[in-house]
């Protein structure tokens, strides 16, 4: 039986990188005899332009019945002045809710060959291999809120089951890696963080005693990620802290184009996407970095299709291409250095799959 994969190319360079990563996914799945039923649907600004809504019901129906969703990007300045409810980003929020996605995963690996691409010193970023796990359904983004002419408030709210669920998810990841988990909070100030710390401590001590658990305040974690990122393994945190710190970690690798992500539900169905935005200034120029999208396909194979060999084949092919000196323009230090187009770099990855 074929796995149902829905692609949501979306806006900006979304179609550019999505099309290239699909080339890789199809090749590796053919080799490993994984049957795919791939269909495309609308989301974001592209959906609004064609249907008047950033998230058509047809897209919801296809995605909720799929085994996995591959997303390109959403948004762009051309939709900045429309009603908030119709903006492209609402499509992404809506599909996350419809699919019940609660865990966002952002792995960050600094390749030895690319340490010079990072704005930080080689000695700082060398050896960095971490995962940020962000809770997606609760926190200040979904709490009670109100705005008047001269006053506004947003409340941060969490139930213990939400914290327990995400901490178990992060702990399972830590067990499969270096058995180190860092829980990030602000327990010296916030009641929600005190609940977070208490629940996390109980989950790990009872169910994952083999893990080394560290609690760290958000301000300290922010500094440590820049000064000694290689000391981290798996980090887990609430929605807002995760939003901020996962963006901070994107600096470590040297380009946002390198990093994949996954947003998963209880069944490990989810949305896989590069963390970069729609980059409207380079649409159609064939210069976007496809690595984030390609590695998102590897995560898709890992989590939703349970095909770790195929996933590792993609990761190894990407690393080999980098080690051979191939770069897209965002990774070259000087404008006159040689670089490959989006499609040409993808072709090198496919060559290295063999």
Q: Which of 219, 228, 281, 285 is catalytic?
A: 219
Q: How many residues does the chain have?
A: 354
Q: Which of 49, 129, 154, 243 is catalytic?
A: 243
Which burial class, exposed, middle or buried, applies to 188 when counting CB atoms under 10 A from its CB (0-12, 13-18, 19+)?
exposed
Q: Is 26 a catalytic residue?
A: no
Q: Which of 61, 116, 191, 247 is catalytic?
A: 247
Taking the CB of residue 4, how many other CB atoms lie within 10 A of it?
Answer: 17
Q: Which of 3, 67, 185, 186 is catalytic?
A: 186
Q: Is 330 a catalytic residue?
A: no
Query: What are 272's strand-pairing partners?
Result: 70, 262
Give backbone dihedrals phi and psi of 236, rounded to 5 degrees, phi first. -125, 140
Q: Is 141 a catalytic residue?
A: yes
Question: Residue 19: how many CA atoms within 13 Å on its side-chain side?
Answer: 13
264: which residues sit within 8 A by CB, 6+ positions away? 101, 102, 103, 105, 169, 270, 303, 304
Q: Which of 49, 129, 141, 154 is catalytic?
A: 141
Distance CA 87, CA 131 (A): 30
Q: Is 67 a catalytic residue?
A: no
Nearest to 143 by CA among 129, 128, 132, 153: 153
Q: Helices marked H in 5-127 — which ranges?
A: 14-31, 44-51, 57-64, 88-99, 122-125
Distance CA 238, CA 223 (A): 18
Annotated active-site positions, please? 141, 186, 219, 243, 247
């Amino acid at each position: 039986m074929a796995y149902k994969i829905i692609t949501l190319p979306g806006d900006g360079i979304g179609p550019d990188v999505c099309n290239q990563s699909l080339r890789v996914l199809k090749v590796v799945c053919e080799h490993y005899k994984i049957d795919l039923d791939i269909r495309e649907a609308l989301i974001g600004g592209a959906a609004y332009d064609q249907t008047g809504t950033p998230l058509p019901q047809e897209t919801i129906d296809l995605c909720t019945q799929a085994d996995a969703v591959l997303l390109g990007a959403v948004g762009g300045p051309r939709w900045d002045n429309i009603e908030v409810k119709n903006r492209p980003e609402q499509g992404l929020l809506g599909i996350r809710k419809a699919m019940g996605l609660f865990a966002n995963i952002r792995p960050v690996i600094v390749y030895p060959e690319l340490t010079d691409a990072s704005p930080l010193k080689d000695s700082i970023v060398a050896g960095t291999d971490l995962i940020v796990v962000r809770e997606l359904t609760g926190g200040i983004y979904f709490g009670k809120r109100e705005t008047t002419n001269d006053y506004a408030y947003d409340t941060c709210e969490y139930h213990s089951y939400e914290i327990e669920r995400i901490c178990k998810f992060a702990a399972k990841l830590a067990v499969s890696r270096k058995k180190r988990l860092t829980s990030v909070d602000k327990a010296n100030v916030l009641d929600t963080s005190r609940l977070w710390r208490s629940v996390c401590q109980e989950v790990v001590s009872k169910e994952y005693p083999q893990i080394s658990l560290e609690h760290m305040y958000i301000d300290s974690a922010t500094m440590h990620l820049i000064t000694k990122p290689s000391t981290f393994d798996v980090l887990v945190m609430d929605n807002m802290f995760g939003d901020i710190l996962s963006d901070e970690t994107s600096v470590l690798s040297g380009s946002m184009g390198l990093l994949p992500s996954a947003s998963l539900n209880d069944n490990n169905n989810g949305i896989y996407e590069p963390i970069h935005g729609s980059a409207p200034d380079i649409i159609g120029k064939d210069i976007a970095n496809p690595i984030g999208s390609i590695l998102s396909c590897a995560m898709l194979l890992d989590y939703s299709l349970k095909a770790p060999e195929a996933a590792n084949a993609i990761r190894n092919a990407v690393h080999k291409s980098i080690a051979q000196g191939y770069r897209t323009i965002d990774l070259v230090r000087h404008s006159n250095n040689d670089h490959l187009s989006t499609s040409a770099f993808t072709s090198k990855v496919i060559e290295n799959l063999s």
